[in-house]
Every structure is written in C-alpha cells, then in structure tokens.
Chain A
C-alpha cells in the first residue's frame, strides 16, 4: 500500500487558546514494500506523523493518501475501520494496551474487531505467539502475570494478528534488554521480507535505521527536512548534526579508522558484516604491499 503525505500540517487543540502546532508542511512518499525509517530529535513531530498513517489524527491542512483512500483536511471521514485494518500501529510501550483475561483473548481482540471469526483469530494467535518468541503455554495466562518483555511481545502479536499490509512501529524496543531488542527487530525485518509488508519505523536509534531501512526520513521541528537512503544520509555528518542527530556508531567508527589509516573504505558500513568485510579486505591488501 502506497502512503503519501502531502503538505500535511497538524495542530493540537485547534481553535482553542491552547492550540499547539506540531507539524508544518510535511511531505513524504512511501512506496509499497519499502522499509521506511523516520528519525528525529525528541519533539520533532515523529509521533504526530505516525498517527496520521491510520487516520487516528487527521491533518488540519493538506492530505494523507493511504492506498486508495484520501484523508483530506476538514472533511468528515467515515468508516475508517478499513484503513485501520490495513495499517497496524505498534505504539510505544504497547504492553499498556493489554486488557483481556488471557493472552489468547487479547491477541484475538484486534482481528475479531475486524470481523475475523473466532476460530480464525485463534489460529492466528497460536501462530503468532511462536513467531514473537513465546511458548504456547502463555496463551492461557493472564497478560498481567507476564514479565514486561513478554507483555511487549504479546502486544506486538496482538497488532500482527490483524494481518495489516503496513506496520508502523513507534520505538518498538524501548526498554527491552539488548538481546530482546535485536530479536524483535529481526523478527519485524523477517516479516517485512516474507510478506512484502510496508514497514515504517519511528526511532531514535540510528543503528536500527541504518541496519534495516531502505529509506530514511528526518523530522526536525515539525517538518520533514531530509530523506534518502541510509548511505546517502549518513555520509553527511555535518548535516545530521544540524538536526541534533548523530551518525550510527559503526559509521562514526569507520570514519575514525579511515582517518587513522588515511584510506577511505569503498562504501559506508551499515551493518557489522559489511564493516568487517571491508576492513578485512583493506588489511589483506595492506599485507600484500
């Protein structure tokens, strides 16, 4: 599903003296099947943008195109359910949305709201619980008896159970241990590849953006100021600093080594593997000299 934001502006509490503008003229096009990262400093408007992807917020100016649906400022929208089924959002700390007596019921909540039968929803829940890395036995437990990390996984399964075409992730790994973070991010990436999903990752982590994203957009003070491939964006250290962002640590590390040995790597390393290979190639070449 293609997503397009065209001159989107949003103001909270519009028309009251408490009006606060959060977005100004945001333009962003996400092609179906892209892994899109949105990065930005705290308060840059990332979270406000993400709520436009399934019409939880409607723009106060401009328009949002979600597949064949156009959400325009100032127009009443009916039947947004269809949009919400297609775009699943994993909010920050999604474990706060758990409420059912059992994990199974909670995972089934989403799909059943969209008219999926109980058997079908249960089948999805049983598949997903393994996918998010939990044993079958938790399905019968109360979500409130689980650990924080397990609750997070259940909540994620609850969103995936809707089988959306687009998955929007808002800092999905905040507060998890490093291993759990990697597992979850890898799981989303595998899903993205397998099912041809469109994934939108809103994050502070330059490392995650570099590792997984095809395209990165940078938000700054309510505007989308820069977008491009990770390699293109992370090559320009100065430009990023301007928006109070740093390059991923691996890239910074590569720059340091390049300075020390006085030689440039052929390309920017976005993953450890890429970095190791390039370094190995350079050192081997050095030996031969």
Chain B
C-alpha cells in the first residue's frame, strides 16, 4: 500500500530541469502559480498548456508519475468543474437534462478552471519529482533568509522540514510493520463497520506515536552530542550553485508572462 505513494516523490535524473538550481526552480514555480491566473481566454490557456508540456518534455519524466501526482486532486478538479457547469448561468444554453441546464459560459469556465488545476499540479509535481527534498529545503532556507531580519526562525524551520522529510519513509516503514504485526494478531483494518475500523486504528497509532517520540528524543540527543547548537555560524556541506541557465529560465518566464498579459482578453 505504502509502496504505491508516488506524490511528492523524487526521481533522480540528469535532465535540464533536474540540474537547475533549486532556488531557481522554487522561484519559477511560485511565479508560475501567479502567472497561471493571467490567462483568461482560449489562446492564453492554450499557451499555458503548451508551456507546461514543454517543461514536462524537458524534465524527461515518464507520464506515469505525473498522472499519479494528479490522483489526490482529481476529485477536487471534477468537483469544481461540475460546480461551474451547474451554477454558471451565462451565455447561450447548450443543452438541458431535466433540471440540469448547461450554459456555454459554464462549460468554458469549467474547462478553464480544470486546466488551471492541471497545469498547477503538473508544475508542482515536476518540481518535487526533479528536486530532492533536501535541495528544496536548502533552496527555501536561502530564499526565506531575508525574513531573519524580522526574527523569523528560518534556519529552524528549514531544519524541521528536512528532518520531517527524512523521517517520512522511516515512519511509513514503521507503520507497515506495526500494521502487519497487528494484522497477525487478528486486527482487521479493511473490514467491518466504520466504528470497528476506527477502533482498529488505535493499535496502530499508539505504537507509532510511542516510537516517533522515542525517535525524536534519540535524534535530539544525537544532535546535541555532536555539538549542534543552532544555525548561527554554521557552514554548509551542500553548496548551491547559481548558473547562467537559472537566470535564463527566470528571464524567459518573465517574457512569457508579459506575452500572456498582452494576449489576455
């Protein structure tokens, strides 16, 4: 079960997108999220989709992973699509089925919103698929650095993030083990009434929490023993390198955004 989770998983590779600086990729995706909202007609949405396709091709990621990344938000996409179709009552009436009346504008809006979701999910999935969690954290730490001026604990936040990321697989393995041990003792997580199922989660959660707390304590001790005392004056093992191509893709994105702005209806 756990093995099938793809969302948020890093797939090592050698493509152009893989080799970009994580800071550039993060800025790119953040900017892209804003830029998506510029599009408001068929032409600009078309350009957005084309742009995303180009990025997908450049990342050389198998479509399989992207489709999987889509699964968790698929319901949301369909839901918003239906909301638009059912409740927007502008433009010509296209057809009606009983009390359901579908208008031209509703269909248009529905498709646009779904496309918006699609490109956003694809772009962020590409970010996490092509960037190792640890570089994302490094990148974020640098990008958030200015916030230190207002006493925002940037280093601590980055550390928390990297520790959390580091322990996700460990906790998953642990969950799997405990689940199997309790199944071997006859607890059944996949059958029975809702109440039974909720009750069956307790034998899973208690040991998981106990071990998570134990692990946290051990980790804290191990860090202290090795002289960790916060981010002050700490040098970095992993150095980020900003290259020309990083600047170029950001420049290109700005040009693309300007183009979209001019073409919007």
How many residue pairs link A and B with beta carbons under 8 A? The number is 63
B151 within 8 A of A: no
B-contact 0/1 string along A90-123, CB 8 Å cutoff: 0100101111000000000110011000000000
Report the minimum CB–CB distance from A164 to chain B (whole Å): 10
Chain A residues with Cβ below 8 Å from B180 are 51, 56, 91
A198 within 8 A of B: no
Contacting residue for B187 out of A54, A98, A113, CB 8 A: A113
Q: How large is the interface on B (under 10, 10 to 19, 20 to 34, 35 or more residues)?
A: 20 to 34
A71 within 8 A of B: no
Chain A residues with Cβ below 8 Å from B262 are none
Chain A residues with Cβ below 8 Å from B203 are 97, 99, 109
Report the minimum CB–CB distance from B197 to chain A (whole Å): 14
Question: A54 near B4 (CB under 8 angstroms)?
Answer: no
Segment touching A, from B80-88, B206-214, B246-254: B206-214
A162 within 8 A of B: yes
B-contact 0/1 string along A43-70, CB 8 Å cutoff: 0000000010010100000000000000
Chain B residues with Cβ below 8 Å from A56 are 180, 183-184
A89 within 8 A of B: yes
Chain A residues with Cβ below 8 Å from B188 are 81, 113
B230 within 8 A of A: no
A230 within 8 A of B: no
Question: B184 near A88 (CB under 8 angstroms)?
Answer: yes
The docked-state distance in angstroms from the alpha carbon of A88 to that of B180 is 12
Known A-B contacts A17-B62, A17-B64, A91-B180; the reply to A97 vs B202 at CB < 8 A is no
CB nearest to A79 among chain B residues: B191
CB nearest to A96 among chain B residues: B207
Chain B residues with Cβ below 8 Å from A12 are 3
Chain A residues with Cβ below 8 Å from B186 are 81, 84-85, 110, 113-114, 162
Chain A residues with Cβ below 8 Å from B210 are 144
Report the minimum CB–CB distance from A173 to chain B (whole Å): 17
A197 within 8 A of B: no
The docked-state distance in angstroms from the alpha carbon of A209 to that of B180 is 25
Report the minimum CB–CB distance from A239 to chain B (whole Å): 33
Which label, helix, strand, loop or mixed, suits the secondary structure of the B interface? helix
A260 within 8 A of B: no
The docked-state distance in angstroms from the alpha carbon of A144 to that of B214 is 12
Q: How large is the interface on A (under 10, 10 to 19, 20 to 34, 35 or more residues)?
A: 20 to 34
B178 within 8 A of A: yes
A16 within 8 A of B: yes
Known A-B contacts A12-B3, A16-B4, A17-B62; the reply to A99 vs B184 at CB < 8 A is no
B170 within 8 A of A: no
Count chain A CB atoms within 10 A of each CB in B3, B182, B185 and give the residue with the most.
B185
The docked-state distance in angstroms from the alpha carbon of A56 to that of B4 is 17
The docked-state distance in angstroms from the alpha carbon of A194 to that of B59 is 64
The docked-state distance in angstroms from the alpha carbon of A205 to that of B180 is 24
The docked-state distance in angstroms from the alpha carbon of A91 to that of B188 is 18
Question: A13 near B3 (CB under 8 angstroms)?
Answer: yes
A154 within 8 A of B: no
A-contact 0/1 string along B200-224, CB 8 Å cutoff: 0011001100110000000000000
Chain A residues with Cβ below 8 Å from B62 are 17
Interface residues of B (CB under 8 A from A): 3-4, 6, 62, 64, 174, 177-178, 180-188, 202-203, 206-207, 210-211
9 contacts between A and B (CB under 8 A): A81-B186, A96-B174, A96-B178, A97-B181, A97-B182, A97-B185, A98-B207, A113-B187, A144-B210
* Given A84-B184, A97-B207, 4 new contacts (CB under 8 A): A81-B186, A97-B178, A113-B186, A113-B187
